[in-house]
Amino acid sequence: MTARDGRLGVGIVGAGRVGPVLGAALAAAGHALVGVSASTDDERDRVESMLPGVPHALDVPLLVERSELVVLAVPDDQLVELVAGLAALGAWQPGQLVLHTSAQHGTAVLDPARAAGAIPLAVHPALAFTGTSIDLARLRDAWCAVTAPGPVLPIAQALVVEMGAEPVVIAEADRPAYADAIAAASQFSTAIIGQSVSALRAIGVDEPGRILGGVVRSAVENALQSAAVDSIDR
């Protein structure tokens, strides 16, 4: 593996809604995409749409071995087994950057890779992904929770900035609380909007989403502005 002028060869493990978007953002920053692991037709279609021409048929261990930066964009319940399994295969490389996108976990989950000499980074974009190019624009207004050992924290922060987002440092011990807060905001918003849509449809409103759009956006913006003022007052 050879990095030139700070550019990295990037391997994306996971082609759900998050992985291809982050891959596109990193490619736009000048990094080279080695490949993306895609296991279903939907995932392959997503890769071909978001990352045309990028290989998506490489075995995961081979993809990892060939990459200078490995992005693990997989569900939380798969992350522990994936990292340990790749360690058992000897896939992790000394000096390699390994970044996962889980909200719940810090870098401890990457200990098997770290034991092989890899550099662990935890970066979670606080964004509800669609898996489409829309997310690239939204990423520029998003924040990413960053957790990493002190000496390499600037690397994680720099990668976030390169993707167009803003980094916020979250301590290892605080990742579960952070994940709970993000999940509550996302799930509550979705549930309340769904309930309101159903109520409007029940009284014959044809396009409830258009009616709710203004009030929801303004209410959220007002709440976020109040939170910002509270932070300043403190």
pLDDT tens string, the chain, 234 residues long: the values are 344 467 999 999 999 999 999 999 999 999 999 999 999 999 999 999 999 999 998 899 999 999 999 999 999 999 999 999 999 999 999 999 999 999 999 999 999 999 999 999 999 999 999 999 999 999 998 999 999 999 999 999 999 999 999 999 999 999 999 999 999 887 777 788 888 999 988 989 888 888 888 777 777 777 767 766 565 555
- In degrees, rounded to 5, the angle at the alpha carbon of residue 55 between the alpha carbons of residues 50 and 59 is 125
Closest CA to 150 of 165, 133, 163, 169: 169
CB-count burial class (<10 Å; 0-12, 13-18, 19+) for 46: buried
Enter the tokens of residue 53.
């021409």
Sketch out the chain's domains with CATH numbers. Answer: 9-170 (3.40.50.720), 177-233 (no CATH)
Range list of β-strands (E), 65-169: 69-72, 97-100, 119-125, 143-147, 166-169
pTM as predicted: 0.85
| Distance from chain centroid for Cα 123 | 7
